[in-house]
A and B are shown apart, each in its own frame.
Chain A
Amino acid sequence: MNSTPDIALFTAAFAAYVAAFAFFLVRSATRRPGWGLPALAATLAGFAAQTVALILRWRISGHPPLASMFEYASVMSWMAAGSLAFLVARTRRYEIGNYVSPLIIAMMAIASLVPKTLMEQLVPALQSYWLHIHVSMAAIAEGAFALSCGLAIAYLIKERRPDTPPEELERLDALNHRAISIGYPLFTLGALFAGAIWAYNAWGSFWSWDPKEVGSWIIWLFYTGYLHARYQRGWRGRRAAILAIVGFAMVILSFVGNLFLGGQHAYGTE
């Protein structure tokens, strides 16, 4: 069952995100604000197509689309696209799209590379309401980390331009921090705690140092360090931006780590 109808919509969403990125770039390159609207529209169109794709997949399989690497990557990019559209529509700062949409495209690309087989029957361990809580919260948190990474890249690039007003940098820094302050508690509660409680019920131990657990633990340690550096040591601006980028790189590493490290979290990798 490799080509369920949702895959076509997924591809359409992918194309829309690529188009959105192109429009965002054209807008920046030509300095014509008129390109902003098509870019936002394409992002929204991609988001809508992906929403339908996810709902379709849910309906066909009978379980939320959170049970394989493809589904997880798709939900993660869907979250980031939704946040980007919301942020751009609300703040009218289209240039954020230049930096966040390539990350969405990267996540979509990863999703398109892993097997898309639809599992109509979940393995017994996944048949639990914790699937909804644990995986959706983790995906939303990592979507927020993706957003913060895009904002951090924007910060670093804009910082090098002499004509960038300081308020612009402040705003990017604060938005970056905001994204991490949303992602971090969700990650703590959803990825770590909900995961630990589920593991306690399903596998018999809260924590078993499975590769994915170690990955999440490292990501959590890293963002904990980020928040302490920010609150206690006053790390802002460039340093905070670099940390946000490294943090998301870890998220991606932990995600693709499933493919070569295996472990108990390697669902739907073959």
Chain B
Amino acid sequence: MPRSIPTQPGRTGDQASPSPAAPGLVEQVYRLLTDTRFAIIVLIALAVASVIGLIVIDQLPWRGELARGHFAGRESTPLVWALIHLVPLSPFRSLLFRALLALLSLSLLACTIKRWRHHWRRALTIALPGENTFASPAVLHWTTRAARDAPREPSAPGAAGEADRAGARHKVADLVAAYLKQRLFVVRRLDREDSTTLSAVRFGFSEMGSILTHLGLLLLVLGGIVLASTGFSRLVWLRPGEDVAVPAKGFRVGLDDFQVQMTPSGRISDYISTVSVYEGDRPVRQARVEVNHPLRHQGYSFYQSSYRQDPTRVRSVDLLYDALVMEDLAFAARAGGLASAAAEHRELPARLEVPMTITVPWGTRVPVPDTPFAVEIDTFLADFRIEADGPRLASEEFHNPAVRLHVFAGDSLAGAAWHFLLHPGMPVGSGLVLPVRFADVHPIWMTGLEVSTHPGSPLVWAGIALMSLGSILVFLLRRDQIWLRARRTGEGYEIALAHPGATRQAPEFVREAWEKEASPLAIRIVRLLEPAGAPPVRGKPFPSAGPQPEAGRNA
């Protein structure tokens, strides 16, 4: 190791002053966090974790909740702890994923701190050209013909001639500055004895774009974590007349009406909840809640999220019966008592002589015409299933609607039976079972309102705003800088234009764009300097400096 710095004998590591070779831990971490390679690795890790998360959502059976149930009592063992905490219900809320997001945030923060000063300076300052700026082969040069053709004679010009030339140069500077300002450049000017140099920058503030995008993403990630950790969201099902209370804020939202609108072809076109907001008993606001148009009140949002038919309540049911059969039943009941009548007339014949319909609204006892009986809905189940402990709601769909009707004779309960919409001939019950057919059901539409709070949303909005602004600055308004030098060379003038984007490495067509812009300007300048001279020629720098640029061509 011939080039390594030898450790001085007698000096221990403790005594050694901090050297660049041994940065402290903080420094090392900072360097790591600001390293682009590290950022790229974190991005890749996040992408991989997201792919895994996407698969885990549907595929992995042993997620946290299941693990908790399966390994009850062993939650402190490392494996079960890991299953519960590292692979919870949503993989995107797992500790692992959040750790990656935290690393991304730290990297964003460190990069912002590291690059802030550089970008800030570039945004606010207009740098003068460096020593070799005009020596680059990519610099465009124009010379006046006089200067190009005339032999270089170091003549001693008179004071008047010198003043004229200085005046001309100042005119040039004014002209160029005005031209550049028209094109939104900010111009800085430096007059020297034999030359005038202009430094111009356009959209310097776009330099802050990269900082803004990084800060914006940081806010977005933080906002997302706050939202996921503290946000609240619950689906509430409401029937018209019901309400949902928000005790924390002292208000409640009552559903006045709910409409499901259909197209003639039977597709849902919209569903709209009309709600009133009450503070105490005082209505303070009425609103329509539609998909895409939520109600927001005191930090709570109410979204039109879903709709369904109430599986356990109905507006009314329609019962079909035969007037003659019902008359017979009434007669039998009067003559032989309810028990014999019930035994004889349980079922409705397939052919009805005098079909009649009776509509039974929920909660209302409806008399059956021309009989001493009345019916009332006791229970409704949209998907009836019989289980060991009795009838149950198998699902919330209307797969097997069944209604349990109470039959009253006078004021006393005479019987109760289940009637099935899909199996009209099979009522099941005890006591007096009316020979009626459950013909139709008028459901109650329930609105599904998603009630949620978004505590981190200001961070998210700020993040979206900053990143959008930053993206526009970075990709649409790129900082543009040019340097122009007007210099007297012998009897003539030389105009040199340099653009940091135009390098030997930059593809030709990148240069073309600004050359197109610069050429007419340079020609006007040269014309101004030598109004009587021959047309200026774009060509070699004069005196030539550095490698030669491309061959001159007529401007």
Residues of A within 8 A of B (CB): 120-121, 123-125, 127-128, 130, 167, 170-171, 173-174, 181-182, 184-185, 188-189, 193, 196-198, 200-207, 209, 211, 214-215, 217-218, 221-222, 224-225, 228-229, 232-233, 261
Contacts and interface: CB of A to CB of B under 8 A. Distances in A.
A96 to B, nearest CB: 14
A204 B269 contact: no
B39 interface: yes
B305 interface: yes
Interface string B61-95: 00000000000000000000000000000101000
Given A121-B263, A204-B233, A193 B452 contact: no
Residue with the highest number of chain B CB atoms closer than 10 Å, among A128, A130, A214? A214
Contact of B457 (A203, A206, A232): A206
B464 interface: yes
Given A124-B269, A209-B92, A221 B227 contact: no
Contact of B269 (A121, A181, A233): A121
21 contacts: A121-B263, A124-B290, A125-B292, A130-B292, A185-B475, A193-B468, A198-B292, A202-B303, A205-B231, A206-B457, A211-B54, A211-B57, A215-B54, A217-B50, A218-B47, A218-B50, A221-B43, A228-B36, A229-B36, A233-B36, A233-B37
A224 B43 contact: yes
B305 A196 contact: no
Contact of A202 (B43, B291, B457): B291
Contacts of B293: 201
A174 B233 contact: no
B222 to A, nearest CB: 13
A266 B291 CA distance: 18
Interface stretch (B141-149, B182-190, B345-353, B506-514): B506-514
A267 to B, nearest CB: 13
B291 A204 contact: no
Contacts of B233: 204-205
A165 B90 CA distance: 52
Given A214-B50, A228-B36, A204 B294 contact: yes
Interface in B468-511: 468, 471-472, 474-476, 507-510
B265 interface: yes
B509 A171 contact: yes
A204 B452 contact: yes
Contacts of B43: 221-222, 224-225, 228
Interface string B441-469: 00000000010101001001000100110
B292 A128 contact: yes
Contacts of A207: 224
Contact of B303 (A181, A184, A203): A203
B475 A181 contact: yes
Nearest to A91: B509
Contact of A185 (B265, B291, B464, B476): B476
A209 B291 CA distance: 20
Given A205-B231, A218-B47, A229-B40, 14 more contacts: A124-B292, A128-B292, A182-B475, A184-B475, A188-B468, A201-B293, A204-B301, A206-B454, A214-B53, A221-B44, A221-B46, A221-B50, A222-B47, A233-B37
B194 interface: no
B354 interface: no
B284 interface: no
Contacts of B60: none
Residue with the highest number of chain A CB atoms closer than 10 Å, among B43, B57, B92? B43
Top 8 closest pairs, chain A to chain B, by CB: A232-B36, A124-B291, A204-B303, A185-B471, A185-B475, A170-B507, A128-B292, A204-B450
Contacts of A222: 43, 47
B468 A225 contact: no
A39 to B, nearest CB: 22
B270 interface: yes
B51 interface: yes
Contacts of B265: 120-121
A193 B58 CA distance: 26
Given A205-B227, A206-B227, A261 B54 contact: yes
A15 to B, nearest CB: 33
Contacts of A188: 467-468, 471
A185 B472 CA distance: 7
Contacts of B450: 203-204
Contacts of B508: 167, 171
B3 interface: no
B117 interface: no
Nearest to A171: B507
Contacts of B268: 123-124
A167 B301 contact: no
A133 B234 CA distance: 29
Contacts of A217: 50
Given A202-B291, A217-B50, A221-B46, A127 B270 contact: yes
Contacts of B305: 203-204
Interface in B18-64: 36-37, 39-40, 43-44, 46-47, 50-51, 53-54, 57-58
A124 B448 CA distance: 14
Nearest to B45: A221
A60 B294 CA distance: 30
B217 to A, nearest CB: 9
A14 B108 CA distance: 45
A167 B263 contact: no
A187 to B, nearest CB: 10
Residue with the highest number of chain B CB atoms closer than 10 Å, among A120, A125, A209? A209
Nearest to A261: B54
Nearest to B451: A204
B40 to A, nearest CB: 5
A163 B265 CA distance: 64
Contacts of B231: 205
Contact of B464 (A184, A193, A203): A193
A263 B43 CA distance: 24
B114 to A, nearest CB: 12
Interface string B281-300: 00000000011111000000
A49 B247 CA distance: 60
Interface in B178-198: none
Nearest to B37: A233
Contacts of B278: none
A130 B467 CA distance: 19
B271 interface: yes
Contacts of A224: 43
A228 B104 CA distance: 14
Contacts of B58: 261
B466 to A, nearest CB: 11
B54 A214 contact: yes
B267 interface: yes
A228 B108 CA distance: 13
A167 B507 contact: yes
A133 to B, nearest CB: 12
B40 A228 contact: yes
Contacts of A203: 303, 305, 450
Interface in B90-106: 90, 92
Nearest to B266: A121
A265 B170 CA distance: 64
A66 B268 CA distance: 19
A206 B267 contact: no
B78 to A, nearest CB: 27
